[in-house]
Every structure is written in C-alpha cells, then in structure tokens.
Amino acid sequence: MQISENQFFEIQNSFTNIQFSQSKPWKNYWESRNYEIAYFTDSINLPNICAWGIKYKLPFFGEIIRIEGETFNDKCDVEIFKNFYKNISSAHYVAVLIVSNSIYNIDHEVGIRMASFFRPLGLSSCPLSILIDLKTDLSFSRQYKRKVKLAKKNELSYKCYSHPTIDQLKLFKDLLIETSGRKKISISFELNLIHKLFDSDSFLLFLAFDNSGRHVSGRILYINNFRSYDLYAANGNGSLNNGASFFLVDCILTYLKKNNFIEFDFGRIPPNGNSNGIYDFKMKVKGDKIQYNGDWNFFKNRWFELLYSIYLFFVKKQTRY
C-alpha cells in the first residue's frame, strides 16, 4: 500500500538495517534534483517491508518508478515479497524498476518473480560485493601489506570528516575528476547536493594526504546501526606510486573496528572481461564474496521494455554486466 512520508519513516525506524539508498538523506538528495517520491509498505500496523522510489515520466510512454532497495525484516517470506511487489506493479506505473543492495535472499527472488518481475533485458549493474566482518581479525594479501608499509614510509596521513565543509568535500571531487579522466569514465557528483548528505550523521568522508599535505585519495562511507557501506571512492594521480589507496582503506578499517562497527560492505565489485582492476583491488582484503538481490523490472508493455533497454545502452551508454 502507498503511504505518506511521515508514516514511512516512522515505520522504517523500527527496522535495524537500512540501505543507504533507502535512507532519509538519500531521499532528500533525490528531492533536491526535483524528483517526486512515493512510499510503500505491506502493513501500517505490522510492517515487514517498506520502500520508497523516485517517479519520472518518459515522453510517449508514461510514468516510471525506480526503487533502489527496500527495508525488510526476517519475517519476510515468498508471500510477503510477492504481495508487496504485486501491489506496486498493479498501480498506474508503466514500469517498476528495482535495484536492491540487500544480500541475496531466495524468498525475495521467488516472490518478486511470482509478482511478474523479470531480470532486465540488459543488466547494467553488477550484483556482487565483498562483505568484511569487523568483529573478527582482519586478513590481507601480501601486496596489500607491502602497499600500506610503502605509504607509511612515505609519511602519508588521513583525516575523517563527519560534517565536512564544502571546500573539504571539493577536495574529494577533485580526486574524482582525476580518477574519471584517467579511466575515461563519466561519474556524476553534484557537489552541493552531495554536501547536503552530511547534514545527517549517516555519512563519513575520509581523505588521505601525502607528506606535502596534498590530497591523494578519498572515500565516502554510509553508516547505519554500526554497519558501513563504501559509497564513493576516488584515487588521484598522486596516489599511484605511494600506496595511498591501500593506506586509506587500512585507516578506514582501523577506524571502524575502533568504533565498534560490525561490518563493512566494500560496495560493488564489477569483474568483467575488459577490466578487473576494482575487483582485484578489493579482493586484497580477505572478506566474504556476496551477491545482492540485484535488479528486477516490471513492464506493462513488452515493446516498451525493449525500447527502454535500447535507450539505456545506445543513448545512455550504460555498461552491460
């Protein structure tokens, strides 16, 4: 059922694990980009699952809703998932797009399939990640240890910002521009809107500096209920020969353990036939490889689904996984 914003966040507060893409600051981010939001739950009195999504219209087709993840408890079974998504797909939307970062749950897959959802015709996000258990002793590859040792020899340092200024966040954006230029990729990062995320206590900015004080590496984390998620990463050109990227990850993990966090989700690992750099880097920390529930689509018109897939890959230039 569809509910109000106030009802939604009152319900969501009763859950223990909230994905960054379902958090209130992330909702505010999309509203700042002039998107309308719709809110859903399976029950107001005894909720087991809830989610919000952004709405947008495509000319000649109609209104689409995109739901990035969902918040649910251990009571969710096939019937609950099926009825929840069936209720959303039976609304007026011409398409319902689901992108879930929750750990794979077979009841979720069975239920959403029974609600007539399918995997996208072209999968554009890799549903794999690495989850690090911070309650145990951490283990690293030999290369990781050598790089951290190199960074310390080069006298690198780091800082953590819970509420960075716009100038401090701009240092991260500078690194992101260097990263995207070096890798020849496009990364969206609207400085003023991202800065508003830090009005909450749910995000942390980490920056590494070389011995001259120049910023060389950075990461932005989402934190919730002693869980953490690697949201953005950037390694400037000054990080390539001094172990800065490894050093910063090591500092982050030390910080999280010291502050009693229980897990660190290293974000998506997108191995493919062309480039495995991100995967190889993140595998230097010995965590558990996991799979998300991932992407699911519902289209009321199959021709529209085909045209939409063509639009994503040939107009938006999305990568296929």
Q: What is the pLDDT of residue 275?
A: 65
Residue 80 identity = I
What is the average pLDDT value for the chain, to the nearest integer?
Answer: 94
Tell me the DSSP string of 63-92: EEEEEE--EE-TT--HHHHHHHHHHHHTSS
Q: Does residue 239 surpass a pLDDT of 80?
A: yes
Please write the tens of the pLDDT for every residue from 151-185.
Answer: 999 999 999 999 999 999 999 999 999 998 887 77
In whole angstroms, what is the distance from residue 115 CA to residue 235 CA? Answer: 42
pLDDT, mean of residues 255-264: 97
CATH architecture of 2-128+291-315: 3-Layer(aba) Sandwich (3.40)
Please write the tens of the pLDDT for every residue from 263-309.
Answer: 999 988 887 766 678 888 998 998 999 999 999 999 999 888 988 88
Q: Does residue 144 surpass a pLDDT of 80?
A: yes
- Provide the residue ranges of all domains of the chain, joining segments of one domain with +: 2-128+291-315, 136-261
Helix, coil or strand: residue 256: helix
Let me know if the fold of 2-128+291-315 is the same as that of 136-261: yes
Q: What is the pLDDT of residue 15?
A: 96
- Greater pLDDT, 184 or 207: 207
What the block records as the tokens of 170 is: 């701009």
**Fold topology of 136-261:** Aminopeptidase (3.40.630)
In whole angstroms, what is the distance from residue 53 CA to residue 29 CA? Answer: 12
